[in-house]
């Protein structure tokens, strides 16, 4: 399983950098301990062909899934704690207005997560079916004419 400290390092969730959080971590260890297994379970659902051995899923894939869930969790908190108040002649001053930004970034991270899982599942399919996965250097050999007994270069001679 991915180390929560790697995630905190990547998103810069360090007490000394969290001035508005009174120099505390934004995301608790308990939240991390809840979300990390959820992301591995989500990977098993979205890509069962690669989820047989979750330890083979690269940390970068799980990292994006965990960050997406952390930001989604924070958007729930922001939404729940939105408050508007009046100050002098200004009406409707929001106490917190970051819920939309947390939601948007959460969706971006989840999209990266699902795209990477999909690419891994595709590579796994090719590996299981043909014993190897494709790469850009072999696209023309596999899809190209030589595979079907046709040599496109014979017309040039």
Confidence (pLDDT) at 130: 66
Average pLDDT, the chain: 80
pLDDT tens per residue across span 74-101: 998 888 777 666 667 766 655 567 888 9
CA angle 41, 65, 49 (to 5 degrees): 45
pLDDT tens per residue across span 51-67: 777 788 999 999 999 99
Please give the span between the terminal C-alpha atoms of the chain, in angstroms, as a whole number.
Answer: 57
pTM: 0.72
Confidence (pLDDT) at 55: 80
Confidence (pLDDT) at 5: 93
Domain count, the chain: 1
What percent of the chain has a predicted confidence (pLDDT) above 90?
A: 42
Torsion, Cα of 100, 103, 106, 108 (10° steps): -70
Q: What is the residue-wise DSSP string for 22-82?
A: TSS-SS-HHHHHHHHHHHHHHHHHH-TTTTTSGGGS-HHHHHHHHHHHHHHHHHHHHHHT-
Distance between CA atoms of 83 and 121, rounded to whole angstroms? 44
Domain that holds residue 123: 4-156
């Amino acid at each position: 399983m991915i180390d929560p400290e790697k995630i905190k390092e990547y998103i810069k969730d360090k007490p000394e950098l969290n001035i508005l959080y009174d120099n505390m971590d934004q995301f608790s260890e308990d939240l991390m301990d809840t979300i990390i297994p959820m992301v591995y379970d989500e990977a098993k659902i979205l890509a069962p062909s690669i989820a047989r051995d979750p330890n083979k899923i690269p940390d970068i894939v799980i990292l994006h899934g965990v960050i997406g869930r952390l930001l989604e969790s924070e958007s729930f908190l922001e939404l729940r704690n939105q408050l508007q108040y009046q100050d002098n002649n200004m009406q409707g001053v929001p106490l917190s207005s970051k819920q939309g930004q947390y939601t948007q970034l959460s969706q971006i991270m989840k999209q990266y997560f699902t795209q990477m899982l999909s690419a891994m599942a595709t590579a796994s399919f090719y590996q299981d079916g043909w014993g190897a996965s494709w790469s850009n250097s072999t696209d023309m050999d596999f899809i190209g004419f030589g595979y079907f007994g046709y040599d496109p270069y014979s017309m040039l001679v």
